Structure formats: C-alpha cells, structure tokens
Amino acid sequence: MSNNEELLKQVTAKAEKWLTPAYDADTRADVRRMLDAEDKTELIESFYKDLEFGTGGLRGIMGAGSNRMNIYTVGAATQGLCNYLNKQFTSLKQISVAIGYDCRNNSRKFSEISANIFSGNNIKVYLFDDLRPTPELSFAIRHLGCQSGINITASHNPKEYNGYKAYWDDGAQVLAPHDTGIIKEVEKVADPSQIKFKGNPELIQIIGADIDKEYLDAVHTVSINPDAIKRQHDLKIVYTPIHGTGVRIIPASLKLWGFDNVTTVPEQMVISGDFPTVVSPNPEEPAALSLAIEKAKEIDADLVEASDPDADRIGLAIKNDKGEWILVNGNQTCLLFLYYIITNYKANKLVKGNEYIVKTIVTTEVIRKIAEKNNLEMMDVYTGFKWIAREILLAEGKKKYIGGGEESYGFLAEDFCRDKDSVSACSLMAEIAAWAKDNGKTLFELIQEIYITYGFSKEKGVSVVKKGKSGAEEIKQMMTNFRNSPLKEIGGSPVVLWKDYQTLKQTDAQGNVTDLVMPETSNVLQYFTADETKVSVRPSGTEPKIKFYIEVKGTLVPGKWDAANAAADVKIEAVKKSLGI
C-alpha cells in the first residue's frame, strides 16, 4: 500500500467517527460530503492531524474535522483548560475566567460555547457583551482577579481562519509550566462526550461598558504630554479598525486624550468577519491602509492610524518631505514610541534609574543603540508578546517597564495590560504626532532624527509560503539545511556570529561556542555579519510559512533619505540572493 493510500485509509477511518450521533447534524453532513467527494484533498486536509493546541492556543481554518476550528476542537480546548484550572486552584472557593472575542465569523458562537463549558465545570465566567480588543481582555483578567481567560481571534489571518488564545492570571498568554500542562489536559479530551457543553447560566456574568471605562481611564494614564495635545487638539487623524474590534474604543480613547478631529473610514467601520474591503486585514499589508490614505488625502490629514481585527497591533501612515503618504513599518513604529518615551522621561526628570525596555530578537538593533546611549536596560526576547509580558512579570516591584515592542506592529506602553495594545498605541502615537508638531516637526522628520542620531537601518521581511502537509515538511527541511550548513557569508559580508536558539548555542567567527541564556529553546536561527547585517530565520507558529527577517545598516545624511533607502535596498537584494529566496 502506498503512503497516499495509507494516509487516505487513516483519514477515512478518523472521519467516519465524526458521523456518529456525538456530533451535530450539520457537522455530520459536512463530513459525509467530504467522504463522498471524488477529490479527497479537503478530507485529508481536514483530518490528517488534530488541530494542535500549542503554546499559543489554537489557530486554524474553520470547518468540520479534527484539523479545523469548530465547536468540537474549541470545546476540547476549553474542557482541557477547565480540567487544568480545577487541578491548579483546588484551594479557591470560586475559579473565574474572562472571555473576549473579535469580529470573525463564529467568534461569538465559539465564545458562548466556551462560556457554557467553563460554567458547566463550575468556573465563573465574565463574558464580554460584544466584540472587544485583545488588550482589553488582558486588562479584564487582571482587573477582575481571574485565574485565566480566553480570546477567540485569529488576529490578522485571512477570513477563513479563527483562533483561540489562552491567558493566565497575570493577563498574559500562558507560558511554562502552564502551557504544557494545559496541552496535556486538552490532549486527554478524546471524545465530545467528555466535554460539558451544558452550561450553568448562574455562573455567567455579562460585562461591557463598566470594564470599558476602567480600561480607557487606565490607558489615559499612559499620556506623557497632555499640554502638547491641548495645543494640537485639532490634529487631523484618520483612523480605521479594518472591520474589527477597535471600531468604538479607539475613537473613544482618542477623544478622552483630547483629540477632537478624528475622521474614520466609513466602509471599514462596518464590523465584518468577511473583511469586505481588504484581501487581508493585516496592517502590515499596504492595501489594508489604502482606503484610509485616500481619506487622508481628501481631508489633508496629519496622520493615518489603523488597528488589526483584534486591535492589538497598530498600522501607521505619514507624509514624507514631498507630501506623499508613506507607510511606517513595525520597526520604525517601535523606534518612534521608545525614542519619544525615553526623550520625555529624561526631559520631565522621570528617570529613576530602574527603567527598562524590551524588544524581540527579530526587531531592529537600533533599539539596542538607543538603550546603550541612554544608559537604559534593554531585554531581548523571543517573538511573541507573551515573552515581553514574562519580563514585566519577573521585574514586577523591582524595575519600571516603560515600553516594549516587536517588528510585527505590536507595542505596549503600559504594564496594566500584558499583551500588545493598539488602543494605547494609537492614542500615544497621536500624542507623539502632536508633540512633534508642537516642536515644528513632522513624524517623518522625527524618524530621520532617530536614524541620524543612532544609525540608519532598513528591514525587510520575506515569507515563503508552503501550504498543507507537504509544505510543513518542506519548511522543516529548509530549517534543517540552514542548521546543518551554516552560512559563511551573507550579501558579501562574512558571518561573525551565528545563533541557534534550538540548541541555545552561539558560535563566533573564530569557532568559539558559548551559551545563549533564554527561558527555553526555539526553532530560530540568527546570523550577524561584519557589516552589521542581521538575518533571522524561523517557521511561523500560526501560518504555513517560513519567515526571514533581514536588517541591513547604512548611513543617513540629512536630506538624503531616498539615497539611504536605495543603498539599503541593494544590500537587501544581495542578502536575499545569499539566502536563496
């Protein structure tokens, strides 16, 4: 029997179990359709594995099957989490959780089913009355003293996807040892009969406006320069939620901060899991901001801001020195935030000497230069905001967190949330624009000022997509090849340092091997060259792709922005050639 025949046999046997009365009629009909179809691709993709409850929770395409997001995979995840919570908190009279969800199709349904399962397991539930940003869920967990929480969201993935993020009592996504503990419990839930779908309404409390007020008041405390806002209160801001959860709360936050000239994008204020105006609801994609930029041209705005569907990440567009609208990437956004916070902390004599900032290992090294020049502690962590949250937890009561971010458009300016926050980010970025204008500068000039002071860098992310089972195997092989045959030079410059986060070893040009101090291993490789180029390679944890993060260095002379960028682009192309991408 060939491998394909064997796989089809296994998949068919697995799918047939979903035809039993344990599954609802719609699910059974969908599975029957896949079994009867001549083309078995959908059947194989839906059942060739179980949708894995990983350290980031669940994320997958919606539909029937063990490898899909549906009430049974979500139900198993929730039941497993319930079992873990009930084992962990035996001394508590009442365990409680908070549940949030975004604009995606089935998000409300999955959140209500989860609420029933939690309550059916004697766990009190605080369920939001409507869609809310991810950071507000993080805030609610801490504010309400919950032991855990979940958020139904697939962030910026295409519309076919949904996801399930699990949070712990500090308001951050779960980390060791709880992540693996929960995974083990989820894996034990092998059949729908083990899931307590029948809820206890007495244990479900609907929350909403009360938490909004507490959260918005807390976000307002992030403001550093209220006087600059008073003088620039009519700054023209265009904002779009890209059909998602920022729709009401970000305009409300901007208003609370004192901005009274905010224009929204009507077509994208429509809440929809189909994201009708965009191909991808991702603020990293230029097309996602095109309608907002059109609106900005129409009203001659100062600033364009966007949030992704679960409103944890910020997208930004500004005018350059020619009056053209340009997108600001995640690295530049992070630089703007940290430069502003540090500059104003020093100017307002707020520095006590125990402040620190955090970035992820794939985020620009210019942040390191800023920290070094300002005698500020900087921590470098893995990709994923839970690692930034971990540093905040470890330093709690000892050091002061003043900001942390990542190249993928996430920033957190506060510690009362423990996940990236576009609500505070959009509000603070508007304040930065107001402060710059107050000082006779534009945000474009501010970015140049940072690069002239701390060194110019340009970053390029390249994602190689490999779908399905065969794609996953290809990605695995690519990582093996990079690991077994380390690159000696990149873009014409010799590699002087090579880091393998899977073995937690780093090797320099002389062959000296030293340890990398990190909380756990991760499938990431990094190369640093003599000309300060940095290349990071890792498989995505949420999408079928392998990601390359390229950063090259250069010099920015005042007034020569285009020349610095053009030189960097040439370097980037040479790097891509060395990597074979």
Catalytic residue positions, numbered: 155
Q: How many CA atoms lie within 13 A of 66 on its CB side?
A: 21
Q: Which residues contact 516 (CB under 8 A, 6 or more apart)?
A: 499, 501, 504, 505, 506
- CA gap 511, 492 in Å, rounded: 20
Task: Look up residue 447 and give its amino acid.
Answer: I
- CA gap 122, 50 in Å, rounded: 27
Q: Are 183 and 101 in contact (CB under 8 A)?
A: no
Taking CA atoms, 172 is separated from 135, 392, 477, 545, in Å, by 10, 10, 33, 25
Q: Are strands 262-264 and 148-152 parallel, antiparallel or unpaired?
A: unpaired
Q: Which residues contact 168 (CB under 8 A, 6 or more apart)?
A: 147, 148, 174, 175, 178
* Cα dihedral: 62, 68, 74, 80 (round 10): -170
Helices (H), 417-520: 422-438, 443-454, 468-484
Q: Which residues contact 461 (CB under 8 A, 6 or more apart)?
A: 284, 407, 547, 548, 549, 550
- CA gap 313, 157 in Å, rounded: 13
Q: Are 450 and 343 in contact (CB under 8 A)?
A: no
Retrieve residue 6's tokens: 């064997």
On the 0-12 / 13-18 / 19+ scale of CB atoms within 10 A, 344 is: middle
Tabulate helix, strand, coil % of the chain (nearest 5): 40, 20, 35
